[in-house]
Structure 1
Amino acid sequence: MSPFLAISIIILLAAVFGYINVKFLKLPTTIGLMLITIVFSLSVLGISYFDDTLLNIEEYIITKLDFRSLLLDVMLGFLLFAGALHTNFEQLKVQRWPILVFATIGVLTSTFLIGGIMYFVLPIFGLNVDFIYCLLFGALISPTDPIAVLGILKKANAPKNLETKIVGESLFNDGVGVVVFTTIFNIAEKGNQEASSFGYIMELFGTEVIGGIALGLALGYITYYLMRSIDDYDTEVIITLAAVMIGISIAQKLHLSAPLAMVVAGLLVGNDTVRQSAMSEVTETYVDKFWELIDILLNTILFVFIGMEVLVLTFDIEYIFAGLLAIPIVLVCRYLSLLLPIHFFDKRLGFVPKTNLIMTWGGLRGGISIALCLGLTQDMERDLFLVITYILVIFAILVQGLTVGKLVKKTQSQHP
């Protein structure tokens, strides 16, 4: 089976499942697609006891299209650029300091809290895991997924400053989370003093994060300059596409953070000043519609992929119990990691009531966590953490995703 045929089957499934969702379930797209795909994959698993043809095809597709590489190396950059392009830049400027703290200190705090607690909890189930591997799990599960949260929050009619905090944090903390994960991964893999030294960690952080932001600024400015110098919507749409594709390629070549570069570039190109000075009304409409379509298409493929990944799990009962216990642990750790930053900025920026509760429940985990987990080696307890991560992602999308809107409405109605 060629990669083209494999992708064609994925898109066919996405179209069929999307139709079923819109026609019958009427759930938010990301939630509906993942739910239907999980049911489909489990059905294929059941049918395989009589005829394993469908199971072999689905497993082959998962293997042929490397989910981890596809998401982290390609899809994530496009999705983050599209998300940043439609983010309210002025609100983001107002909320920039809490967002920065949430996306850095918050991720680090959550990583160590989750890793530390899991290190002591897992032996309850007879699972003795090294502390460094528990930290790896803390790093991959701490970033919230902008891909999962963007569409759901918009439909929840959350207050704009609250939406900006959650979306802004989600856009930036995945880039930081990937850097934290990569650093701990290198320490765990090499196990030497050099890999764990402060200088090495700061060098990696500087290269990935600062380099990624600098690349994003350069790409954003070049894109703005080119779009301002012409008035042709076809060419201007292609310029934005070229900026993303070349930007991702440069970031990969220079080992910079492609996610952060795409977020910064998207925010620059999408802010009101650039729109007014570089885009005609027709160009703005076409650019927005083009990236909305890209966003919808890739989101659709992504959540079908997440649903199909159920076939690679090892269903040990200890792993499942550990995953179920991890749900409250991760939620409590996120709440605690946000506590001090929210308290510090509350008086200055006037946060809406129950901000911490909403940000905790609205901080969904998604494809990024699964993709990072797939990068673990067997020595790093890959099978165990993959099951735990999958349970957390399913809970986040299906339970938190379906109820965060109601939580927002309830908390805001109590404090008009």
Structure 2
Amino acid sequence: MDTYFIATVLIFLSAVFGYLNVKFLKMPNTIGLMIITIIFTLGVLLFSYFDPTLLNLEKSIISSIDFKSVLLDEMLSFLLFAGALHTNFEQLKIQRWPILLFSTLGVLTSTFLVGIGMFYILQILNFNVDFIYCLLFGALISPTDPIAVLGILKKAGVPKNLETKIVGESLFNDGVGVVVFLTIFQIAKTGIDNTTTFDVFQLFGQEVIGGIALGGLLGWVTYRLLRSIDDYDIEVIITLAAVMGGTVIAHKLHLSAPLAMVTAGLIVGNDTVRATSMSEITEKYVDKFWELLDILLNAVLFVLIGMEMLLLVFEGKYILVGLIAIPIVLVCRYLSLFIPITIFKNKLNFVPKTNLIMTWGGLRGGISIALALGLSAEMHRDLFLVITYVVVVFSIIVQGLTVGKLVNKYKQEV
């Protein structure tokens, strides 16, 4: 199917569903768009009993889109750069050590805890699934999604220092999570006997350290270019070129593009860099451009997530496992945050109930679905895709709608 036609349909649906949300539902856009798209898709499924034309069109569009490639290889770089560009760098600097532990040790701990928990649950329910595949699920569901988190936290009234921890963690842990997933995926594909410890550390080190180094270089080059001229049109284009060019370079060198874009965005968005490289009008145009691009891509992404339900294999047992997985994932996240919070809570004046709020506010989103779509049939793709979708929908709709109420409940303590 023609790419322009697909893009037109997605943007048209985003506009219509976005209008309906703003006019009637009045929910955060990410949540409203997903709910309306899911209702629309269910309506199309019901209508298909009388006329399958709409269903066939929707299926044709979804089958023409490689969701994993579109999100991880293309959209994610823009979204992460935009998110990092508007993140408070000074607050992030103060909270850097807990954020580092949340996005590394936290992801690894959650990966193994979820993997172990799901392995035993699946055994009890008579699913013959190897532990390594349960570990893969743990890796894809553990990173919180910055795309979902950023939009919702703006309306939740989360205290600034806690918001920095959640946003900072989500910006970095998706890059780390993708690398952890790819590492376990490689082991599952080639066999543990054919994978050495050196191979694991080489892949992890190359992707993570190389990605951050590339992002630092991109940020510095972008800063020097912006500083040398004063023309807001060209300066906006320079930031766009940095993201697009940097993503291509990262993929060619097998480095983490998400981590590169987060690093570059934090450097370019830093107040000190802004003050010395951008005029007031340039700063305004750069911010507005990336804010608008962020909103557009977010809208399209959550419409896509809602439409992806057509790929699910609807089996009652799969959905049951998905529902059981929800509390497992939440408990494992709570436990994975315990050590970093215990270490730093006195030094950095953590707000009360930080662990609880970060657990409930750590939303899963498109990244988890994209990684689940990358599983092969022998890795029980259909089963884990349904489980992932159930967890993601619950996360965005239920957790997303109630995180603000949870924060307000402990407002006086905060």
* Residue of structure 2 equivalent to 1:65: 65
User: Structure 1 residue 194: deviation in Å?
Assistant: 3.3
- Residues 55-114 of structure 1, C-alpha deviations (whole Å, 9 max, x = no match): 111111111121110000000000000000000000000000000000000000000000
* Residue of structure 2 equivalent to 1:258: 257
- Number of matched pairs: 414
* Residue of structure 2 equivalent to 1:22: 22
Are residues 1:34 and 2:34 paired? yes
Q: What is the distance in 2 between the residues matched to 1:54 and 1:123? A: 40
Q: Cα RMSD over matched residues?
A: 0.7
* Residue of structure 1 equivalent to 2:213: 214
Q: How does 1:3-402 map to 2 (within 5 A)?
A: 3-195=3-195, 197-402=196-401
Q: What is the distance in 1 between the residues matched to 2:328 and 2:15? A: 36
- Residues 259-314 of structure 1, C-alpha deviations (whole Å, 9 max, x = no match): 00000000000000001000000000000000000000000000000000010001
Q: What is the distance in 1 between the residues matched to 2:189 and 2:47? A: 39
Task: Classify the secondary structure of the residue corresponding to 2:154.
Answer: helix
Q: What is the distance in 2 between the residues matched to 1:30 and 1:175? A: 21
Q: What is the distance in 1 between the residues matched to 2:65 and 2:48? A: 21
Q: Which runs of 5+ in 2 are unaligned?
A: none
User: Structure 1 residue 159: deviation in Å?
Assistant: 1.0
TM-score where L is the length of structure 2: 0.99
User: Structure 1 residue 318: deviation in Å?
Assistant: 0.6
- Residues 183-214 of structure 1, C-alpha deviations (whole Å, 9 max, x = no match): 0000001114232x210000001110000001
1:194–1:200: 8 Å Cα contact kept in structure 2?
A: no
Q: Which amino acid aligns with 2:398?
A: V
Q: What is the distance in 2 between the residues matched to 1:309 and 1:406? A: 29
Moved more, 403-412 or 302-311: 403-412
Q: What is the distance in 2 between the residues matched to 1:192 and 1:166? A: 34
* Residue of structure 2 equivalent to 1:403: 402
1:3–1:65: 8 Å Cα contact kept in structure 2?
A: no
User: Structure 1 residue 411: deviation in Å?
Assistant: 1.0
Task: Classify the secondary structure of the residue corresponding to 1:348.
Answer: coil
1:14–1:33: 8 Å Cα contact kept in structure 2?
A: yes
Task: Classify the secondary structure of the residue corresponding to 2:157.
Answer: coil
- Residues 326-371 of structure 1, C-alpha deviations (whole Å, 9 max, x = no match): 0100000000000111011111101000000000000000000000
User: Structure 1 residue 50: deviation in Å?
Assistant: 2.0
Query: Runs (4+) of structure 1 moved beyond 6 Å?
Result: none
Q: What is the distance in 1 between the residues matched to 2:329 and 2:205? A: 28
- Residues 103-153 of structure 1, C-alpha deviations (whole Å, 9 max, x = no match): 000000000000001000012322121000000000000000000000111
Task: Classify the secondary structure of the residue corresponding to 1:412.
Answer: coil
Q: Which runs of 5+ in 1 are unaligned?
A: none
Moved more, 55-64 or 358-367: 55-64
Q: Which amino acid aligns with 1:93?
A: K
TM-score where L is the length of structure 1: 0.99
1:103–1:176: 8 Å Cα contact kept in structure 2?
A: yes
Q: Which amino acid aligns with 2:110?
A: S
Q: What is the distance in 2 between the residues matched to 1:392 and 1:120? A: 18
